[in-house]
Amino acid sequence: MKFKFLVITAFFLASITNAQSSLVGAESFSVNLPAGYSRAVGTNDYATVQWQNEEMHSYGFVIIENLDELKISGVSSDLQSYMDICISNYSGFPQFKSFAPKLFKNKKGQENFQKQISYYNEELESTVYLQFNIFKSKNFIYQIVNFGNEDFLKVSKENTDYIINNVVLPQ
């Protein structure tokens, strides 16, 4: 009987010891940049990867968040709800405008939600145009932002489309 008690105790202790949790910190992803674009720093402090095309005044970055962190914050990981949160950081700026969003699959078959906005940047004394694309993998949500000056949505469209169509994320 005493031995049985020891075995049970040992099993209980082993269970406690094994009560660990593995946290995924990041997953491998990459962005294919068209000619003229290169890795950059300084476009956004929270970005994991950033790029620029100085000649075209075209810039971009990716911010990732673990879905478990969103759960802890009580934030929905629904693409549209997450987009609303991203956009809300800009909606208070002068002359804020947002354009019709669209939900589509990129050329790699990954669903994403896209929205374009603009606002007047008083510091730069010009209108800034931004395109947000929200993707989601099993463990992370990705906010991909491309932005530039007044000509950005027209002049950089082909390059921005290329970036969005060729981003490589885990399924």
Partner 1 sequence: MYSAVFAQHKVYGAEVFGVTLPQNFERTIGLNDYATLQFESKSPKPNAYGFLIFEHKDELKLAEANLDIIDYTLNSIEPYTIREGFNYIKKPYIAYERGFNYAYTEFETNDTELGHIYFLQTVIETKDYIYQIIQYCGYNEKEIMKSDFVNIVNSFKVDE
Give the binding site for partner 1 (CB under 8 A): 16-17, 19-41, 45-46, 48-51, 62, 64, 66, 68-69, 72-73, 158-159, 162, 166, 168
Residue recorded with tokens 């990732």: 64
CB of 141 to partner 1, least distance (A): 13
| Residue partners of 89: CB distance under 8 A and separation at least 6 | none
CB of 72 to partner 1, least distance (A): 5
Nearer to partner 1, 29 or 120 (CB): 29
Nearer to partner 1, 84 or 161 (CB): 161
Give, in order, the Cα–Cα distances in Å from 69 to each of 104, 135, 138, 151.
26, 16, 13, 36
Nearer to partner 1, 44 or 98 (CB): 44
Nearer to partner 1, 149 or 156 (CB): 156
CB of 8 to partner 1, least distance (A): 19
Residue 41: closest CA among 57, 27, 69, 60? 60
Indicate the burial class of 139 (C-beta count within 10 angstroms; 0-12, 13-18, 19 or more). middle
